[in-house]
Every structure is written in structure tokens, then in C-alpha cells.
Structure 1
């Protein structure tokens, strides 16, 4: 594969996740990642400041899509209905690349305390994006924060179910995130 071919960013992510899974995060070097991806070190550093940031790949886009979906929810929508619109919007950007990479990424994160920390920071960032979008709609801070956290949990649960499930043609991520949000809505109502 030529170093100039498109998809370098995705190849870097796949190479890194595979190497993290095979030999561990700490034992993996940037040199090994670029060799596996078939790109140069300068290409790596064009996309990522260091190997830790590979896990955050796509986070800004995901946060933006969640916030846009919330902002575009119909006027008068409840906070969770707006969150559902954000989840729908973000889910539409997830494809087979994300689905296929998910099990390997989970394994790499589970094996590294540093990657677990990065993953936790990613969740905080997604929650903050949804909370800010809800506050911009006029939702009270505490309600927005709770709805944002439920949105993060719904996304994570839905993504896990989607990536671990069967591969039916009509099975898209939004079905799973929507079901997870409804399950969490019902669970939160039972808290009393």
C-alpha cells in the first residue's frame, strides 16, 4: 500500500489498536505503528500528537454530531428527546469500520490503565458536549448534566450491543442507542 494512498488516518488507528492488542500499549512504538500502517512518521504526527491520542480519534466529530443533533431537535422537545436526536445524528456517522474495530479497541483499553484513563476522558468530553448543547436550548444546568450523562451511557451501551451483536443488514447503531436510552429512561423513573 502506497504511503500517499487515502485512508492514512484510519490505517494508523487500525494498526495501533491491533498492535496494542497484540503486544500491549506500553510495548508499542510510533515506529511500529507507522510501519504497520504503511505511512511515514510525519504522516502520523500530522494526525496525532502521540500514540495516546489514537484512542481519541473521531472524538471531536462525535461530540460535534451529538451537539448538532441536540440543537436541531424540535422546539419544545424534552431534554431526553433532544439527547435522542443527538444520538441519532451521531449514530449515522458510525459504520462498519467502527463496528469492526470495536472489539479490538475494547481489548486494548481493558489491558492498559493509560488507555482506560483516555477512554474515561473521552466519556467526560462527550457528556460535556451534550450538556452544553442542552443548556444552549434553555435546559437547567442540573437537568442538562443528568441528560448528558444518560446520553453518554446510552451511547456506550448501544455501541457495545451493536458492535457485539449479529450483522443483520438493517441493524444500525441508532436502533441500539435508542433502545439503550429508553431503558435508561425507564430505569431512572424507578429511582423514586
Structure 2
């Protein structure tokens, strides 16, 4: 009989990542993952569509956090202020005690081209959802797309720094710093554009 145990999904997730790190993603089977925590393949598939989803299934929760941040921004907020709100809200999705998990997960993804492609698709899907949320708040289509793409770029740059060896700062602090760098870049560009073409 298949056991439906509390916490089984998280146990499978932890076991899968440990196996992926130790012996490689391609070399790890669903049967091994399930067996390592005393469960069956059938139980695994109740939680995850396939072994990739162990690494990607929280995507909807992350997207919801970003969208909640966009919607929490004040009515008068500019597009990038909404993005700043989204980044701040989503940073709570990555507490410090999740940093080691995220480092290991990223190492598995980096070693597998198909997983890297899936990660890029995840970010593209996130950017599209953020752009749609911005448009729903009255941001013009092109500005919404630029702001959403900028936001996911800031997230990606900050996340890479957050999981770097020796990094101790929170994701929120790093995102704030990267946003500041983006603001400095856009200020310089605005000045150059105001001068007109050479």
C-alpha cells in the first residue's frame, strides 16, 4: 500500500537534491529518490510531474510573491517602484536558511543544459506575468515590458550574488544594491538622451 505521509513532498525534494548533487541529475532515477526516503515511485508522482519538477515546482509561489509585491505598491507608484516592491516581497521567499539549498540547486542546474533552459523559461514566464500585472495597473505596454524584464534581471543578478560562496547579506539587501546600480545607469542614460544625438 502506498504511504501518504505528512511532509513526504519535502522529504522527496531534499532526497532528490542530495542525489542530484552526489551522482548527477541524469544518473538519478525517480525510483532511487523515492526509495531513499522509504516511499514508492507512485507517491513521488503524486507530488511531482517528473524529476525536474523537484527543482522547479515552487515557481508558482515565487510568481505569486512577485505579483503580490506589484499589487502592494501605492497607486501613484512609478513602474520601477512597483518592481522594487515586487522584489522586496519576493525576497521573503528566500530566507537565509534556504541559501544552502539554493546553492546546491543552482549547481545541479548549471551542470545540465536542459535544466538551464528550463530555468531561463521560468524567468521568461515570470517576466511576462509581471508585465501583465503592471499593465493591469495602468502601465503602458512597452514600459511594462521594460520594467518587468529589468526586474527579473535585477532578481537574477542579486540571486547569483546571494548564493555566492561567502556571501552573508540577505537577498533583499543585495536586490536593493543592484536596483541602485540600475538607477544610476538609467540616470546616466537619461542625461545622455537629453543632450540629443551627437
Counterpart in 2 of 1:105?
105
Q: Does the CA contact (< 8 Å) of 2:20 and 2:28 recur in 1? A: yes
Q: Over aligned residue pairs, what C-alpha RMSD do you find? A: 2.1
Deviation of 1:177 after TM superposition, in Å, equals 1.5
Q: Please identify the structure whose Cα radius of gyration is greater.
A: 2
TM-score normalised per structure 1: 0.87
Tell which has more relative contact order, 1 or 2 (C-alpha 8 A, sep 6+): 1
- SS of the residue 2:130 aligns to: helix
Counterpart in 2 of 1:178?
176
Paired residue total: 188
Q: Does 1:164 align with 2:159?
A: no
2: distance between equivalents of 1:43 and 1:96?
Answer: 30
2: distance between equivalents of 1:6 and 1:159?
Answer: 31
Q: Does the CA contact (< 8 Å) of 1:12 and 1:33 recur in 2? A: yes
Residue ranges of structure 1 left out of the alignment (5+ in a row): none
Residue ranges of structure 2 left out of the alignment (5+ in a row): 193-198
1: distance between equivalents of 2:12 and 2:171?
Answer: 24
Deviation of 1:12 after TM superposition, in Å, equals 2.2
Extract structure 1 runs of 4+ deviating beyond 4 A: 165-168
Structure 2 CA distance for partners of 1:188 and 1:62, relative to 1, 3 Å: same
1: distance between equivalents of 2:34 and 2:102?
Answer: 21
